[in-house]
Amino acid sequence: MKSNQKPVTAIVVGAGGRGVTYSTFALTVPERFQIVGVAEPKDYNRGWMQTRFNLPAEAVTTDWHELASRPRMADIAIITTQDAMHAEPAIAFARLGYAILLEKPMAPTEEECRRIVQAIKQAGVLFGVCHVMRYTRYTQMLKALLDSGAIGEIVTVQHLEPVGYWHQAHSFVRGNWRNSKESSFMLLAKSCHDLDWLLYILGEHCLSVSSFGALKHFKKSEKPAAAGDALRCLSCAYEPDCPYSARKIYLGRLEKGDIKWPVGVLTPEPTRESVTKALEEGPYGRCVYECDNDVVDHQVVNMLFDHDKTATFTMTAFNQANHRKTRIFGTRGELYGDGVNIEHFDFLTDQTRTISTEDPSDGSIVGGHGGGDYGLIDRFVEAVAKNDQSLILSGPDESLESHRMVFGAERARLDHVVVDL
Ligand SMILES: NC(=O)c1ccc[n+]([C@@H]2O[C@H](COP(=O)([O-])OP(=O)(O)OC[C@H]3O[C@@H](n4cnc5c(N)ncnc54)[C@H](O)[C@@H]3O)[C@@H](O)[C@H]2O)c1
């Protein structure tokens, strides 16, 4: 389709894993979307962006403050720095008039989330939080089914997030999100997507939350005796019997030719030598029972929604990493979704039908997170082109509301109370 409209432009603030993911979308639709600048301290990441997007030297900086000290140079600021470094750039670039696409979580505290929303509203700019789960084909088909009345009125929902044993070890024991003081607590880092998704699916305000959870396994007291004093997998006698072995997780994947995430997180150019060095010296080679992690490895949340609706949520490390699983119980039927297929049981007919949500197209534009990554950036670009906030499914108010559920649930867990929102 030909259009006379100029492409929407963006700068990327933090060109790590997520910044690169959203930027890459520009390569598939250059007539609609272009990356025109980047702020990134790491030489490799910055250089990759400069080369890939053919950026002039003056559009490439090592720190976001420098871009924020200049007049606006693009339509969108994509903010993909780490969790604790979201609020300040989001506020600064909103004040300059950029539309803000902000990675989740909005910020590690409710106060910062509120400040972001206030700045967005004052600046009158478009805003979206990267709640990619809202934008998948699966979610859109599930939501359409619910909105069509397929199961009558939703009464209660049971939602499971199977994080996966190795994913937990990679990100939440050894990796960036292991320690709540350095990044954020587990429910915010990983499961803010899920509480946001439940809010979206139920379409009701959440009134109250309670929660339990703990760090049960990944701590020194659980270390198998056979592991002795070993601090790293490569020098541990117990390693061949340990499912969380870094040798198995990283070198095992490398040997099968898989150098993408999570192997690519250890070193920009994974080889047997570079990955082995990273395991000998870096954080990802550490024993999972000897890390400085404190985030929970399992947590449950109970939620009361408006109109007497309820939901339960479970996150747990102890499973095969997989899609989320959801059972939705309504007054006229029941749905079970496994992230790909939806089973619909109808009370009137006593029949079950299965609906596939797989994309029949060639999938070349689908991208990660079940199509959510490109689904999100695609809609955001369209919203900016049309100056239409309603195209963004995760705007300021709904994102603040779902973040407040998360902060409330964590307070409920820590204080052993029911928190009214
Ligand atoms: N939506 C999702 O599903 C999803 C998935 C994973 C991560 N995330 C979130 O995305 C964010 C980024 O995660 P990531 O995995 O890409 O992390 P990352 O560490 O790979 O990327 C962050 C980048 O920010 C850069 N940076 C640091 N200081 C900077 C500064 N002063 N100016 C500019 N850049 C700076 C870092 O060098 C790094 O390259 C996090 O908040 C994370 O929680 C979201």
Atom 38 of ligand 1, nearest CA residue:
16
Residues of the chain with pLDDT under 50: 1-2, 362-366
Contact residues for 178 (Cβ-Cβ < 8 A; gap 6+) = 171, 172, 291, 292, 293, 294, 295
Separation between Cα atoms, residue 368 and residue 136, nearest integer Å: 10
Judge if the beta carbon of residue 132 lies within 6 A of ligand 1. Answer: yes
Task: List the beta bridge partners of residue 156.
Answer: 310, 329
Q: What is the pLDDT of residue 272?
A: 97
Contact residues for 2 (Cβ-Cβ < 8 A; gap 6+) = none
Cα 79 to middle of ligand 1, angstroms: 8
Helix axes 110-123, 396-415, angle to 10 degrees: 170
Cα 213 to middle of ligand 1, angstroms: 26
Q: Is residue 350 left, alpha or beta, with left meaning phi > 0 and alpha meaning psi from -120 to 50?
A: left
- Residues 164, 178, 296, 238, CA torsion sign: positive
Q: What is the pLDDT of residue 4?
A: 67
Coil, helix or strand for 134?
Answer: helix
Atom 31 of ligand 1, nearest CA residue:
63
Q: For residue 10, give the amino acid letter.
A: A
Q: What is the pLDDT of residue 5?
A: 82
Which atom of ligand 1 is nearest the CA belonging to 64? 32
Residue 198's CB: how many other CB atoms inside 10 A?
Answer: 23
Q: What is the pLDDT of residues 240-294, one digit of tens each?
A: 999 999 999 999 999 999 999 999 999 989 999 999 999 999 999 999 999 999 9
Judge if the beta carbon of residue 64 lies within 6 A of ligand 1. Answer: yes
Contact residues for 363 (Cβ-Cβ < 8 A; gap 6+) = none
Judge if the beta carbon of residue 286 lies within 6 A of ligand 1. Answer: no
Q: What is the pLDDT of residue 3?
A: 58
Given ligand 1 and candidates 21, 40, 49, 82, which is best to mutate, with the most ligand atoms within 8 Å of its CB?
Answer: 82
74, 100 contact by CB (below 8 A): no
Q: What is the pLDDT of residues 362-386, one digit of tens each?
A: 444 445 667 889 999 999 999 999 9
Cα 86 to middle of ligand 1, angstroms: 9
Q: What is the pLDDT of residue 364?
A: 44
Given ligand 1 and candidates 80, 83, 180, 265, which is best to mutate, with the most ligand atoms within 8 Å of its CB?
Answer: 80
Cα 183 to middle of ligand 1, angstroms: 11
Given ligand 1 and candidates 18, 69, 113, which is best to mutate, with the most ligand atoms within 8 Å of its CB?
Answer: 18
280, 251 contact by CB (below 8 A): no
Judge if the beta carbon of residue 80 lies within 6 A of ligand 1. Answer: yes
